[in-house]
Amino acid sequence: MKNMKFLRIFISLLLLSTLANAQELNFTVIINSDRARTMETNVFQDMKTNFEQFLNGRSWTTDQFSPNERIKGNMLLTIGDMTQAGSYNATVQIQSIRPVFGTNYETMVLNFIDRNWTFEYIASQPIEFNRFSFLNNISSLLSYYAYIALGFDYDSFSLRGGDPYFEIANNIVNNAQSSNRPGWTPSNNDRRNRHALITDVYTSSVMSPIRESIYLYHRKGLDLLLTKPDEAYKNIIAALKLIGEANQIQPNSILTIAFMDAKSEEISNILRTAPMEVRTEAVALLLKIDPTNAKRYNDILKG
């Protein structure tokens, strides 16, 4: 009897350990509520805790993640004026980070700003989510960006590896359109929205080369930079060429902007020590893709 009891306890602990390891995200939620004009500031600490638990406390995939493999990220919320008690307008910035193989360096894979999120929140309320239907604007947005972050991370390790997660993100967008909440539908006035991002990432054939560039830049570029620099630089150039091709057909797409928002400073830094012919070719490409950062890219040539 004692042995059976011990066995049940052991199996329970093993199951708990397995579930813990299956959690994929390690996100920090940061909330700026200076503009909220409310005395009930405790609600924002509760919101932070609740959002982090929702993102980090569940399994989003069937893959197993050890604690050190979890995907790091930040969700930065800037709360705007409150229209009424419990109703919020917010800007959301999503950042996801991945380690570079063989180094202590971490690279930002995604840096996206969503300027139009409206939601209702009551302290300590449970956040329910169903991937097959729209329940509320909190769980849909948090889940959408969880799958977007997963998709970008998987894309950085294998060619189009993020497809299963982008498919779910696309389903979330489709389900949320019935809510008539901003950000879920096409908009001529708001290009930085959820619908525009998933369209570029998942359904647009024009933007497909950028998905390949994410893999080339990270797995075949940054991950090889320490051990095979010549090959790494070649693949980084190839990635920039793919982005340039997509940008020529559809200039200033939100996916191109998101990639360059995450990478422009990093690209400038890693290319400063590259051979001059690599720097020259890269700068010519970068000036066409992202002319707003022309000074940064021209400085690459100075070493």
Angle at 180 between CA 133 and CA 139, to 5 degrees: 45
pLDDT in tens, 7-38: 444 434 443 444 444 699 999 999 999 888 77
| Cα torsion angle, 262, 96, 87, 167, sign | positive
Q: Quote the longest CA-to-CA distance of the chain.
A: 76
Asked whether residue 183 carries a pLDDT value surpassing 70, the answer given is yes
Angle at CA 238, nearest 5°, toward 235 and 241?
Answer: 155
**Mean pLDDT over residues 143-169, rounded?**
98
Measure the CA–CA gap between 100 and 51, rounded to whole angstroms: 28
Average pLDDT over residues 36-61: 91
| Helix pair 229-249, 276-289: axis angle to 10 deg | 20
Q: List, in order, residues 6 or more apart from 79 with CB less than 8 Å away.
A: 31, 32, 33, 35, 36, 44, 88, 89, 90
Residue with tokens 């509320």: 136
Q: Tell me what the mean pLDDT of segment 82-92 comes to.
A: 87
Burial of 253 (0-12, 13-18, 19+ CB in 10 A): buried
The domain ranges of the chain are: 208-303
State the pLDDT confidence band at 207, using cuts at 50, 70 and 90. very high
For 299, residues 6+ apart whose C-beta sits below 8 A from its C-beta are: 268, 272
Residue 301 pLDDT greater than 60, yes or no: yes
Report the predicted TM-score, pTM, of the whole model to 2 decimal places.
Answer: 0.91
Residue type, 291: P
pLDDT at 1: 46
- Residue 152 near residue 96, CB atoms below 8 Å: yes
Whole-number pLDDT of residue 187? 83
